[in-house]
Amino acid sequence: MSRFGIKLEPFLAKRLPPAREQTLSHKGIFILPSTFGLVWLLLVALLFLLATNYQNNLILGIALLMSSLFVTCILYSYRNLEGLSLQRLTLPTVYAGSTLPVPVRLSAKRDVHQLSLEFAAMPPCSAAVTPGPTDVLIPVTAPKRGLFNPGRLKVQSSYPLGLMRTWTWVDLDICHPVFASPIEAPLPLVRLDEDKAQHDLGAWIPGVDEYQGLKSYIPGESLKQVAWKQLAQGRGMLSKDFAEPQGAPRWLSLPSDSVSEREHGLSVLSFWVDELSARQQIFGLSLPGLKIAPSLGEAHRIECQIAIACVGAPPELIQRFSARR
C-alpha cells in the first residue's frame, strides 16, 4: 500500500474491515481522473475558451461532447468494479525468503475489464473476470519467519478509455505462518532419559503395531495381509504394510537460549523437522513454553513448522491466527 493508503488505514478499517471475502460497493470504491483524464479536461477547457472567443458552435459542441463523455466514464468506471467479489482461498505453505502465491477467487455477475491486483511493492497481476468464479494467484514476498500479513490488496481498473483511475484496498484477513528457512546443521537432539545407547531413535521397522498403508504384494507373504477389498476393486494384488517404532523418539529443541542465535537455531529445527518427517521417524518438538508430543506424518510436520514460525510472534497475531484455525 502506498503512503497515501497507509494514512487512510483508519478510514479504510471502518469502511472495509478485514474479511476473507469482500464484495465491492460504493463504500470502498474510489474514483479520480487519471493523468490522461486530466489532460482530457485541460483540452476541454481550451476548446471551450476557443469556442467562446471565436463564437464557433462546432468547437463548442465538441467541447460539450467531450465533457459528457468524461462524466459518462465516471459512471462506467464505478459500474465496472461494483459487485466484484474477492474470496481468499487456502494459502500454501511457504518458507522465509520465498514468494507466496496468494490464491484469490474473483466472481461477478458481469464482465470486469482491465482489472489489476497487487500487494505493496509487488508487480501488478492482471485478470480477466467473466460471469462466474475466476481463480488468480497474486504473488507476494514473504521476507522472514513468522506470522505474515502482506497488508491490503490493491484492486484497480482504468476502464473505460483510461480517463478514470478506479481503485480500492481490501484486507483479505491474511495471517499466514511463514516457516523458518531450513539450514542444514548437526541435529539439535535432546532425550527425556539418560539412555543414549540406541542409535536409530524414532525409526520404524517392520512389525504389527501401526498400519502404514499399502504396498505391492510379494509372493510368499501371508494371505492375512492381502488387501482383499482393493483386490475386489480391481486395483491389483496389494498387501497391508505395518510397522512399529524402534527405540525412543527423538526430541528436537533449540540448542541455545541466546536471542542472537535463536533465528539460526530455528532454521536448523526447520530443516530437521522436514528431514525426520521424510525419513518417517517419530520425533517431538520442545520450544520455550510449548511442547509437541512425539508423532509423525504430514500433519505433525506442519504443526511443528507452525510452532517454530510462531516463536516470538506478537500475542495479538498468534491470537488472530488461532481464531482463524
- 59-90 pLDDT tens trace: 999 999 999 999 999 999 999 999 999 999 99
* Domain shared by 210 and 163, yes or no: no
Looking at 108, 142, 177, the residue that finishes a domain is 177
145, 24: one domain: yes
Q: Say what the pLDDT of residue 238 is.
A: 72
pLDDT at 190: 52
pLDDT confidence of residue 1: 57
Q: Are residues 172 and 70 in the same domain?
A: yes
Residue pair 97/85 in contact by the 8 Å Cβ criterion: no
Q: CA-CA distance, 202 to 165, in Å (whole number)?
A: 60
Over the range 3-25, which residues count as b (16 or more CB within 10 Å of their CB) and which as e? eeeeebeeebeeebeeeeebebe
Contact 169, 27 (CB under 8 A): no
Interval 211-238: pLDDT, tens: 455 667 667 666 666 676 766 777 777 7
Domain that holds residue 157: 3-177
pLDDT for position 194: 41
What are the pLDDT digits (tens) for 271-306? 989 988 888 888 899 888 888 898 888 999 999 999
Rounded CA-CA distance 89/240 in Å is 36
Q: What is the model's pLDDT at position 120?
A: 83
The span from the CA of 140 to the CA of 150, in Å, is 7
Q: Are residues 146 and 204 in the same domain?
A: no
Residue whose C-alpha cell reads 475466476 in the numeric block: 134
Asked if residues 176 and 145 have their Cβ atoms less than 8 Å apart, the reply is no
Strands (E) located in the chain: 21-23, 30-33, 85-88, 99-107, 112-118, 125-129, 134-141, 146-148, 153-157, 164-170, 176-178, 189-190, 203-216, 238-246, 250-253, 283-287, 290-295
Residue 49 CB neighbour total at 10 angstroms:
12
Kindly report, residue by residue over 29-51, the tens digit of the pLDDT: 999 999 999 999 999 999 999 99
Q: State the chain's mean pLDDT as an integer.
A: 82
Number of domains forming the structure of the chain:
2
pLDDT tens-digit map of 117-161: 999 878 888 988 888 899 999 999 988 999 998 989 999 999 989
46 and 159 in a single domain? The answer is yes
Q: In angstroms, how far is the first alpha carbon of the chain from the final one?
A: 27
φ, ψ dihedrals at 147, nearest 5°: -85, 120
